Chain A
Amino acid sequence: MKALLASILTLTFIGFLLLAIVEMPAVGSDSSIMHNVVMDKYIEDAMTDTGAINIVSAIILDYRAFDTFVEASVIFTALICIMIVLKRSGSHDEK
């Protein structure tokens, strides 16, 4: 009973997503709408602006370094939250 209901819900959900995929351009096609002027600007100006050879490193550490800063602070906050959750209260027994 529960398995039947779960599978009907999942198949409906995936059916909607597959309907959206039918309208997408093929994998690896050159004329997709994602490869536009923004990509050309990053590829052409990465070496002269920053001096780095790796274009992905130049993007995440020079053009968009604030995103990396916020994400490093997300890691740090997760560590603090785990320390708070796993703290034992009172006296803990000897090893």
Chain B
Amino acid sequence: MMKSSIVRHITSLLLPFVQIFGIYIMLFGHLSPGGGFAGGSILGASLILFRFIYGSEATDAKFKATYMMRLALVSLMMYGLIKGYVFVSAFLGWHSVIGTGTPGTLLSGGFIMPLNVLVGLVVAITFYFIAVLFEEGDFNNANTRQ
């Protein structure tokens, strides 16, 4: 928790732009360089900055530990299921749900955009958790239940 008011004010002005930039790189991965990994790294870095400036109690109230772990796990399983559907539907000759679309627009490329978003979520949550674990060692005031 930093007590310097200059840093807090500048961070509160700067963080929304960093997150919008990270989401832009993640969503437009099939049109310009970037993709899931780069966008996920930027989002994870913005979450770490938020925790560093505002302290651990405020961040734990906003992003609960078990909720984010479940989000990462569900994203990974959804990636496997979607890719399995694409593979099997091309192998057996079924008609695919999402077509290719016109190249150059945002809603094109079939399943590439959802896969980018899922990979970016996994990477961002993993980077944030690794930084939390190095600083504190365990989830002290997270509402974990066995």
Contact = CB atoms under 8 A, between A and B. Distances in A.
Please say whether the chains A and B touch (CB closer than 8 A): yes
B138 A86 contact: yes
B35 A57 contact: yes
Contacts, number: 98
Contacts of A76: 72-73, 76, 122, 126
B43 interface: no
Specify which of B76, B109, B122 lies most central, judged by the most chain A CB atoms within 10 Å of its CB: B109
A79 to B, nearest CB: 5
A85 B73 CA distance: 20
A61 B104 contact: no
Contact of A75 (B33, B99, B122, B140): B122
Nearest to A46: B103
Contact of A88 (B116, B123, B138): B138
B12 interface: no
A11 interface: no
B137 interface: yes
A69 B83 contact: yes
B115 A65 contact: yes
A57 B80 contact: no
Contact of A52 (B76, B112, B134): B112
A52 B109 contact: yes
A66 B83 contact: yes
Task: Please classify how large the interface on chain B is, using the bins under 10, 10 to 19, 20 to 34, 35 or more.
Answer: 35 or more
Give the size range of A's interface with the partner: 20 to 34
Contacts of B111: 62
A2 B102 CA distance: 64
26 contacts: A50-B109, A51-B101, A51-B102, A51-B110, A52-B108, A53-B32, A53-B103, A54-B29, A54-B33, A56-B33, A56-B35, A57-B29, A58-B30, A58-B109, A58-B112, A61-B30, A69-B83, A72-B79, A73-B76, A75-B123, A76-B72, A79-B126, A79-B129, A79-B130, A82-B133, A92-B137
Interface of B: 29-33, 35-36, 72-73, 76, 79-80, 83, 86-87, 99-104, 108-112, 115-116, 119, 122-123, 126, 129-130, 133-134, 137-138, 140
